[in-house]
Amino acid sequence: MFAFKLTLILLGALLYLIGSGCWFFWIAPLLLADGETADILYAFAGTCGWMLITFSLVVHIIKTARPTACGR
């Protein structure tokens, strides 16, 4: 069971890192290169989405590590 959980954690971390790298080094620069208003708004919305995913991931990790910390 430990190997299965470890595999899922590593897979999730790999997918998060690949998604972050693709967003910040490939997709977002292409959107900002054009300079059109719609592309800049898409880049802003995508960055906001990335921040929400990151914040949710941090909250999930904290709640998993300390399940009794939020409610007694």
pLDDT in tens, 6-56: 898 899 999 999 999 999 999 999 999 988 999 999 999 999 999 999 999
Q: What is the pTM of this model?
A: 0.79
CB 28 within 8 A of CB 46: yes
Q: How many C-beta atoms lie closer than 10 Å to residue 43's C-beta?
A: 19
Q: How far apart are CA 7 and CA 27, in angstroms?
A: 28
- Please count the residues of the chain: 72
What single-letter DSSP state applies at residue 70? S
Interacting residues of 70 by C-beta distance below 8 A, sequence separation 6+? 63
